[in-house]
Amino acid sequence: MKKMIRMEKVGKFFGKLEVLKDINFEVNSGEVVCVIGPSGSGKTTLIRCLNHLERITSGKVYIDDELVDERIKGKDQLKISQQKVSEICTRLGMVFQRFNLFPHLTVIQNVMEAPIIVKKTPKAEALEEAMELLRKVGLEDKKDEYPSRLSGGQQQRVAIARALAMKPEIMLFDEPTSALDPELVGEVLEVMKALAKEGMTMIVVTHEMGFAKEVGSRVVFMDQGSIIEEGLPAEIFSAPKHERTKAFLNKIL
């Protein structure tokens, strides 16, 4: 299977705080990899390092077999331009905990904005594609509303449509339901399940263990900046090998 993501011996420091330790991580095309673990374990930093929202301190990061970050003790070893890196990173779509919609733009404008500005998509084409994406996430009727008039679940579904508008090959989700009221979680997870069924490659940082069990092709457990254990959902949830994984799952399940 084609490797879409590869991290080799990745380390990340914030000042003197080591938040990622010698991370080796791969994601194949079509996989849904769910990253679980306690708060502060490095899960969010892991995916932020993939799309250059954070620069690694050491190691290598590949997207679709192209090297997009290489550092040794914080010193850049990368031979390609920042413009080329940015171009490669558009293959990744990202959905954050806190929606991050533009409050002054309507729903449809939020979804159209990046294709028009970044990809120079003609406005009529961007509009047609945005409407199709809003239908996909069940929000076609909200196209002219502003984000402030939507529920949290609706805002997050718009955020997913906005990320998909750039036609990414890989979707990154950073705890996409953690800011939602419990009754709104399901509507967002349903959209994510539909994407997984279509074969979208996904990395999902999540506390939703039911989603990880049902939809994940692989589960990665992190603690204190390290990948402690990874495997099939059935293996991780039914028979974890590492004591730290067992302790974490016993607390939350």
pLDDT for res 24: 98
| Paired strand residues for 222 | 227
Q: How far is CA 167 from CA 15, 89, 93, 253, in A?
A: 35, 12, 8, 36
Identify the segments of the chain with pLDDT beneath 50. none
Model-level pTM? 0.95
Give me the pLDDT at residue 200, please.
Answer: 97
pLDDT of residue 74: 87
Residue type, 20: L
In this prediction, residue 62 carries a pLDDT of 96
Q: How many CB atoms lie within 10 A of CB 18?
A: 16
Please report, for residues 21, 78, 103, the alpha-carbon distance to residue 59 in angstroms, rounded to integers and kept in the order given: 10, 11, 38
Summarize pLDDT for 27-63 with one digit per residue, the tens.
999 999 999 999 999 999 999 999 999 999 999 999 9
Q: What is the pLDDT of residue 55?
A: 94
CA dist., res. 17 & res. 249, Å (int) = 26
CB contact at 8 A, 151 and 132: no
